[in-house]
Amino acid sequence: MSLARVVAVAGALCGCALGVTACGAPLSVSAQIRQWSAGAGYPDLDQALEADFPEVRAGITSGNLKGLKTACAGMSIDAGNIYNTLVTPDHALTNALARALSGLAKVGQQCNDLRSGTAAATAALARELSADQALYDKERAVIVAADRTS
């Protein structure tokens, strides 16, 4: 391979790593988020976490402590899997996702620490879940919007 070809290939690879197009123009933040999302496997990880929310809510309403703890454990694992993909290309998005995912993991831990499925305990858990899910869903919307742009 000629030296010119090696330099051209290295330049293209460097450009990809730095978030620029082959022509050297910077990628938009949406495009960078889209690349991060695809590379991190975010759509599959998000789908798993989103599936956990109704299971946790069902456990809360049923009073089945064992089922609730199982659902919460799954939610904690899935939130942790997304957390492990951070840092996103957007600093504010990274911070907000980290807060939301940490909150969901905290809810999972509180759920695991429950000794009984009393109405008061599960109501508090449901409130915290709703608040942290709302934070997560707000940031999720940013990622989904970036994934839909071309």
Does some domain include residue 3? no
> Residue 76 to residues 2, 32, 139: CA-CA distances in angstroms?
51, 27, 18
| pLDDT above 70: percentage of residues in the chain | 83
Tens-digit pLDDT profile for residues 25-53: 789 999 999 999 999 999 999 999 999 99
Residue 7 belongs to a domain: no
Task: Dump pLDDT digits (tens) for 8-24.
Answer: 444 444 444 445 455 56
Query: Does the residue 126 lie in any domain?
Result: yes
The structural domain count of the chain equals 1
User: What residues have CB less than 8 Å from 20, skipping those under 6 apart?
Assistant: 26, 27
User: How high is the pLDDT of residue 4?
Assistant: 46
Domain that holds residue 58: 29-148
